[in-house]
């Protein structure tokens, strides 16, 4: 069975990690100076490289080339050629234990971990425990883990990964080195998708890759999975094919609808909605995207400097269009419009006729000004 894109193109060194430069640098420097900690906490949105970094760290700690070659040791990277590196990459390493706390969250699992960690590694220098979704641990399991973190054996390294940092007990957080993983900017996601497309000999259009990257919401894993999904349905990853497969309109189309609404063009707005519905667009997703677009436009109207924040999520052309639309904002007309769209969104998710709530919201708001 062929590997999925997100597994095939998973980073194998710290240098390969995209968008997490500070984290890479800190871990690399710690490896160079032989100061790897015994407990780490990686937290941040899904698909940003937490588990991948944990595996790279496990390789760095156990890489045989680093032990035998002082010059290579100073690179702070794994060699990806020695037995431990290859075994960890393939998931066959007995001394690297990955625990999914979402399904192994009880005190019994932590007690087994506590007993197992007393034993020396079978063939590596360090025994590495990677606990994914750590916030899912029960209170009793977290307390059992805490005792192990307080006095870990010299041969053990713990790496906790979570998407919900605030749900972890402060007692556990305080005993770890903490690293915050950030969502990837749109530009970096598109560049990664382009690299994969070239490697896989997939013909693509840049707007299609931008739509995929936008849909991934800062997650490399999601972006790579979506690219594979579209490529498996269509020979060429075009914008129209991507919209059809994802059931999501490109941001340019969302921007076009936003402009019609802000200009108060009721007839053209309704035509747009009807055409999108007939074309098979997901009306719930379209409404959600429209609310996000108008929310950003409203923010930009009050604070032009917020443009620098949106640069991570939007292309240069999209930013230019949004900036132009922010000049059309009228508080008395457009704040109620956004509120109506939010209400429509909540209603249409459970309606057998999802187009009706958004049409009614548009007619109620634009009709009264025509």
160: left (phi over 0), alpha (psi -120 to 50) or beta: beta
- Considering 125, 153, 180, which residue would you say is the last residue of a domain? 180
Rounded to an integer, what distance in angstroms lies between the CA atom of residue 100 and that of residue 128? Answer: 14
Residue 6's beta-bridge partner residues? none
Helical (H) or strand (E) element with 36: none
pLDDT of residue 2: 66
pTM: 0.82
Looking at the fold, whether 12 and 82 belong to one and the same domain comes out as yes
SS percent in the chain: helix, strand, coil, step 5: 60, 10, 30
Whether residue 85 contacts residue 125, with contact meaning beta carbons closer than 8 Å, is answered with no
Q: Which residues of the chain have pLDDT under 70?
A: 1-2, 104-108, 368-370
Residue 40's beta-bridge partner residues? 159, 177
Residue 162's beta-bridge partner residues? 43
Q: Please give the tally of structural domains in the chain.
A: 3
Taking alpha carbons only, the member of 95, 86, 318, 59 closest to residue 190 is 318
CATH number of the domain at 226, please.
1.10.8.60
pLDDT of residue 116: 76
Looking at the fold, whether 352 and 339 belong to one and the same domain comes out as yes
Looking at the fold, whether 147 and 269 belong to one and the same domain comes out as no
Structure tokens at 35: 């100061």
Rounded to an integer, what distance in angstroms lies between the CA atom of residue 161 and that of residue 158? Answer: 10
Looking at the fold, whether 161 and 203 belong to one and the same domain comes out as no
How many other CB atoms are there within 10 angstroms of residue 310's CB atom? 16
Residue 274's beta-bridge partner residues? none
pLDDT of residue 335: 93
73-98 burial, b at 16+ Cβ within 10 Å, e below that, comes to bebbbbbbebebbebbbeeebebbeb
Whether residue 168 contacts residue 134, with contact meaning beta carbons closer than 8 Å, is answered with yes
Looking at the fold, whether 173 and 273 belong to one and the same domain comes out as no
Whether residue 44 contacts residue 160, with contact meaning beta carbons closer than 8 Å, is answered with no
- DSSP string across 324-345: HHHTT--HHHHHHHHHHHHHHH
Looking at the fold, whether 165 and 207 belong to one and the same domain comes out as no
CATH number of the domain at 263, please.
1.20.272.10
CATH number of the domain at 101, please.
3.40.50.300
- Considering 246, 270, 289, which residue would you say is the last residue of a domain? 246
> Which structural domain range is residue 326 located in?
251-367
pLDDT of residue 107: 66
pLDDT of residue 312: 82
Looking at the fold, whether 321 and 299 belong to one and the same domain comes out as yes
Whether residue 307 contacts residue 323, with contact meaning beta carbons closer than 8 Å, is answered with yes
Rounded to an integer, what distance in angstroms lies between the CA atom of residue 118 and that of residue 147? Answer: 13
Question: What dihedral angle (degrees, nearest 10) is formed by the CA atoms of 200, 212, 188, 42?
Answer: -100
Looking at the fold, whether 211 and 288 belong to one and the same domain comes out as no
Looking at the fold, whether 130 and 176 belong to one and the same domain comes out as yes
Whether residue 251 contacts residue 318, with contact meaning beta carbons closer than 8 Å, is answered with yes
DSSP state of 304: G
Looking at the fold, whether 123 and 213 belong to one and the same domain comes out as no
Looking at the fold, whether 176 and 200 belong to one and the same domain comes out as no
Looking at the fold, whether 257 and 222 belong to one and the same domain comes out as no
- Considering 246, 263, 285, which residue would you say is the last residue of a domain? 246
- Going by C-beta distance under 8 Å and a sequence separation of 6 or more, which residues neighbour residue 122? 94, 95
pLDDT of residue 104: 66
The helix/strand/coil state of 96 is strand
Taking alpha carbons only, the member of 134, 182, 177, 179 closest to residue 157 is 177
């Amino acid at each position: 069975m062929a590997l999925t894109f997100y597994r095939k193109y998973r980073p194998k060194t710290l240098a390969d990690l995209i968008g997490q430069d500070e984290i890479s640098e800190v871990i690399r420097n710690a490896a160079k100076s032989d100061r790897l900690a015994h407990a780490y906490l990686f937290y941040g949105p899904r698909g940003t490289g937490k588990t991948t970094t944990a595996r790279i760290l496990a390789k760095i700690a156990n890489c045989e080339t680093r032990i035998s070659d002082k010059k290579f040791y100073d690179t702070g990277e794994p060699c990806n050629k020695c037995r431990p590196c290859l075994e960890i990459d393939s998931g066959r390493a007995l001394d690297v234990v990955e625990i999914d706390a979402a399904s192994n969250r009880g005190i019994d699992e932590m007690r087994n971990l506590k007993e197992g960690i007393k034993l020396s590694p079978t063939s590596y220098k360090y025994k590495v425990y990677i606990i994914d979704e750590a916030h899912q641990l029960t209170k009793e399991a977290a307390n059992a883990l805490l005792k192990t973190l307080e006095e870990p054996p010299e041969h053990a390294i713990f790496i906790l990964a979570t998407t919900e940092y605030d749900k972890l007990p402060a007692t556990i957080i305080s005993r770890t080195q903490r690293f915050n993983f950030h969502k990837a900017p749109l530009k970096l996601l598109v560049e990664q998708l382009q690299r994969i497309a070239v490697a896989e000999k997939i013909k693509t259009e840049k707007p299609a890759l931008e739509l995929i990257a936008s849909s991934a919401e800062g997650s490399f894993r999601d972006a790579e999975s979506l690219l594979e999904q579209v490529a498996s349905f269509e020979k060429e990853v075009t914008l129209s094919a991507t919209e059809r497969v994802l059931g999501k309109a490109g941001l340019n189309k969302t921007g076009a609808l936003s402009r019609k609404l802000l200009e108060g063009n009721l007839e053209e707005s309704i035509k747009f909605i009807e055409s999108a519905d007939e074309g098979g667009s997901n009306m719930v997703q379209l409404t959600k995207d429209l609310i996000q677009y108008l929310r950003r436009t409203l923010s930009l109207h009050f604070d032009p400097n917020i443009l620098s924040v949106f640069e991570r999520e939007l292309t240069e052309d999209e930013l230019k269009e949004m900036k132009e639309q922010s000049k059309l904002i009228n508080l008395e007309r457009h704040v109620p419009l956004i509120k109506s769209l939010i209400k429509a969104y909540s209603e249409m998710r459970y309606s057998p006729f999802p187009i009706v709530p958004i049409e009614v919201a548009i007619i109620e708001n634009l009709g009264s000004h025509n």
